[in-house]
Amino acid sequence: MVVRLRLADHTYPIQFATALLVILFLDFIWFSSVGETVYARLIVAGNVRWSYGLIAWLPLAAAAAAVSQEASAVEGALYGAAVGFVPYAVFNGTNLSILPDWRAHRWVSCVDILWGCTNLAVATSVALATCKGLKKRLQE
């Protein structure tokens, strides 16, 4: 079983915090390097409000942390990629359907969805490995 409700698990907050930190770190790297080029024509310079990103980042981290610690590294990465695919596909599909500027740069949606899958696969894997390692150390 890859996913199970883990809110009562004492390691869930650690897994959640780790996933959130990884997501934030990777998005910071992405937006401050590649993102400036990819989204240049779609985002008005100086109009980005990073605090609103928490609306997305907190639930993404919560979902990433829901992976069972019994999952393998591959299962964790695949689960994370699926977690990333759904909201990024919904976001991009919505933008493509209602924003003409977004439709003019369709390739951005493909890149963004791939980024969401990659970011969440890495965040889920790192959080899973961190908690497994911590649990192992505590048991020694």
Q: How many residues does the chain have?
A: 140
As a whole number of angstroms, the distance between CA 1 and CA 61 comes to 19
Number of C-beta neighbours around residue 11 at 10 A: 18
Residue percentage of the chain with pLDDT more than 70: 89
Q: What pLDDT is stored for residue 6 in this prediction?
A: 55
pTM of the model: 0.87
In which residue ranges of the chain is pLDDT below 70?
1-9, 43-47, 140
